[in-house]
Amino acid sequence: MLVGDLPSEDDVQHLSSVWQRRSHVPNHVFATIEALPVSTHPMTQFVVAIMSLQTESQFSKRYARGMSKKEYWDAVFDDSMDLIARLPRIAAYIYRRKYKNGEHIQPNGLLDWSGNFAHMMGYEDESFHELMRLYMTIHADHEGGNVSAHTTHLVGSALSDPYLSFAAGMNGLAGPLHGLANQEVIKWIYELREEIGAEIPSKQQIEEYVKKTLSEGKVVPGYGHAVLRQTDPRFTAQMEFGKKHMPDDPLVQTVWNIYEAVPPVLGSIAKIKNPWPNVDAHSGSLLVHYGFVEYEFYTVLFGVSRALGVLASLCWDRALGFPLERPKSVTTKLVNDWLAGKEEIWEG
């Protein structure tokens, strides 16, 4: 993600080894997590843990000593590598604390980054490890305009270190219009099945439920995207995984039925430019198949993956010397003029 090339097997082994060596999490981070009520949302615990880990920032320490601007990228890279290496340990600790009575599992240094994450959460099925490799890859990042990527870039433009910048991005990811959407998809499907009274609703039943959802002024979670104008290729990748590992799973089959039923309904509404599914429409059903039913935690998985993309971008921000970002200011007069048709508010 830094250089735009697919890694060789040697590259993968080297990176896994580097992250394993950098993965130690200081005890005060676990103590900070433990100071929160267990009932605290996993994303809140995740962000608090990242903030407590900021004590380890090399960028912050080197900047305080008078680091040259030419060295910014190197310090950001160092912090980014440490943070990426430590996130699976932190996330797995939160998962086991909240859902598994605090019965923690120690890391296995012989496993790769994603496999070790799955292991520390308590999932040893090799196909689940394969799913985590897929999940961590396709949720990393796809463009810089989404909330978590842009927020990380924005906060980093103030020369906030990668820990502060990434924590800010994760607060954006926690919103229901962003990373929380995968949680909303599963909730919506459960409500669909309960109301219809069928484990695998028919396409016609789904169509009627979708129309009812829209008539109530609600959205169909997992459908539509601000940028894409086709089926999200990350959805397709997950669908292929499902066909390989769980073709007869009722929840997965429901997702596929929704995929056939929803786009025609949404496409008939003129203002909807993209009726196709995005990445969130499928990810939860694959996790549920393996017994990973704690959907409040799904956004944390998303966050661990997203670090790969946004921190790689942050390294380039500092290497290229991008300036402090400052959005245009809008006055009340400008808004009034725009409402009166006298001014194009977004010009300039």
As a whole number, mean pLDDT of residues 211-239 equals 85
Token pair belonging to 90:
């932190």
At 119-174, the pLDDT tens digits run: 999 999 999 999 999 999 999 976 778 899 999 999 999 999 999 999 999 999 99
Q: Do 166 and 265 have their domain in common?
A: no
Which sequence positions are flagged as catalytic?
178, 225, 280
**341 occurs within a structural domain:** no
Please tell me which residue, 204 or 268, carries the higher pLDDT value.
204
**234 occurs within a structural domain:** yes
Q: Please count the CA atoms within 13 angstroms of the CA of 189 that sit on its side-chain side.
A: 31
Q: Do 13 and 145 have their domain in common?
A: yes
Q: Do 63 and 134 have their domain in common?
A: yes
Q: Model pTM?
A: 0.90
**342 occurs within a structural domain:** no
Confidence at residue 348, expressed as pLDDT on a 0 to 100 scale: 45
Q: Do 154 and 202 have their domain in common?
A: no
Q: Do 164 and 304 have their domain in common?
A: yes
Domain range for 79 is: 9-179+294-319
CATH number (domain holding residue 41):
1.10.580.10
At 93-110, the pLDDT tens digits run: 999 999 999 999 999 999
Closest CA to 96 of 113, 112, 118, 115: 118
CA 159 to chain centre: 23
Q: Do 175 and 187 have their domain in common?
A: no
pLDDT > 80? residue 344? no
Q: Please count the CA atoms within 13 angstroms of the CA of 174 that sit on its side-chain side.
A: 15
Domains held by the chain: number: 2
Q: Do 186 and 174 have their domain in common?
A: no
Q: Do 192 and 132 have their domain in common?
A: no
